Copies of this chain bind each other. A is one copy, B any other.
């Protein structure tokens, strides 16, 4: 594939100056339109060392207003980044609606260069390539424009450029031993690039192969391609094109069978003495397991959903009490901030993932998409209907990273909720906890219940199972939750380290 790129164009300095100025001005005025139509644009550059990516980026951004355009360089992951899922650091570069993100190298680093220079198994490589396609599809589905450039030069050209850089005292530091090695093994890298490009050359996010031999021709090619793709995207009513998705995707996921909420018994209770005894036991065990998680670098994600007043806060507090505050974080999820709203909806959850060995406790979660946002029409049917798949993919990514994932639905019945609402309202110290919104939500109980049933049906998986907690009796529910957490962690600690994942 790469050898087909024409590497021999030539353009004079004068031609370039006038043509590039014109194109850049065109792009600059397109930027106003991008801002107005709130189109988020990701432009990424992959390519050979010394192929001139830096200069191409420089030419591209020169007339773009930096208020809405950021350049990011991707190098080897930092210590912290290695303690997160592979894709985590790239979510930081996902721009807000109306903004450009320009990337010098990208997530393709992990499936090309890094793959050859670190020890990545074939299985892990396939997993990463799939993750990338999923990631890009989720973004383009959400209206993102992704423009991917691969800048190509021949082995001979690269060698000559390295030699030229190495001769000049001012630039010799730019050519490392690693670079020379890569040039010698050009064919191996070429194969890896071709494989990655081939696997990820999707309709939604196609590759643009650019010849880097003539710097000027390359710059014009890049800017022209960006103008063409941005114009095309602005002319499409992107969101309107996406249809709602069928809820059932047979075979796509091995869903665990779940009962309907109406089938869940709520009659079990626990007396105070037994509760106190079990609470202390479970907390003691959890405290010890927290150390073990830390040592084994296992991340844990606890997701809490449930009816208003079902007891999420109290349950979370009982879990947290057993944990070292340096190793966990409670992540309360409220309405998205403007910054969050201007991005793909999973962005804020990616941002709040723990590092490995740590625990994140989500008080409300990404399931808001298929619960409150669905009921209240905060998103379109197309959006919430495809969210089941996106959420399963998200959790799969976390599981592949090695995380223990537990999801709790705290269940009470309507009468119990009413009792708790009334008791809160009559208690001056707790009355602030109950708002008009709680009453409004309550009036939509049936709608919510149908959504919860869909959620349980389509998102309970072996790697991220749902547990329905019988919270009618708070004490019973708390112990049930603690036991499920300790059991799942014990299971995991018995396991070997997850495949494909390497130690720091």
Q: Is A240 an interface residue (CB 8 A)?
A: no
Select the stretch in A72-80, A114-122, A395-403 that faces chain B.
A72-80
| Chain B residue at minimal CB-CB distance from A75 | B326
A238 to chain B, nearest CB (A): 25
Q: Is A252 an interface residue (CB 8 A)?
A: no
Question: Which A233-288 residues have C-beta < 8 A from chain B?
Answer: 288
| Given known A-B contacts A67-B334, A79-B78, A173-B295, A61 and B325 have beta carbons under 8 A apart | yes
> Please, how many angstroms separate the alpha-carbon atoms of A256 and B326 in the complex?
47
Q: Is A363 an interface residue (CB 8 A)?
A: yes
**What residues of B have a CB within 8 angstroms of the CB of A29 in the complex?**
429
Residue from B170, B292, B317 within 8 A of A62 (CB atoms):
B317
Inter-chain contact B330/A58, CB cutoff 8 Å: no
| Chain B residue at minimal CB-CB distance from A28 | B429
Q: Is A329 an interface residue (CB 8 A)?
A: yes
> Please, how many angstroms separate the alpha-carbon atoms of A82 and B291 in the complex?
28
Within the oligomer, what is the number of copies of this chain? 2
**What residues of B have a CB within 8 angstroms of the CB of A73 in the complex?**
326
> Please, how many angstroms separate the alpha-carbon atoms of A63 and B321 in the complex?
10
> Please, how many angstroms separate the alpha-carbon atoms of A291 and B171 in the complex?
8
Q: Is A324 an interface residue (CB 8 A)?
A: yes
Q: Is A484 an interface residue (CB 8 A)?
A: no
Interface of A is mostly: mixed
> Please, how many angstroms separate the alpha-carbon atoms of A295 and B176 in the complex?
14
> Please, how many angstroms separate the alpha-carbon atoms of A295 and B171 in the complex?
10
Question: Which A34-66 residues have C-beta < 8 A from chain B?
Answer: 54, 57-58, 61-63, 65-66
Q: Is A125 an interface residue (CB 8 A)?
A: no
> Please, how many angstroms separate the alpha-carbon atoms of A332 and B66 in the complex?
7
> Please, how many angstroms separate the alpha-carbon atoms of A65 and B432 in the complex?
13
Inter-chain contact B363/A66, CB cutoff 8 Å: yes
Q: Is A32 an interface residue (CB 8 A)?
A: yes
**What residues of B have a CB within 8 angstroms of the CB of A86 in the complex?**
none
> Please, how many angstroms separate the alpha-carbon atoms of A455 and B271 in the complex?
70
| Chain B residue at minimal CB-CB distance from A69 | B330
Q: Is A104 an interface residue (CB 8 A)?
A: yes
A306 to chain B, nearest CB (A): 17
Q: Is A372 an interface residue (CB 8 A)?
A: no
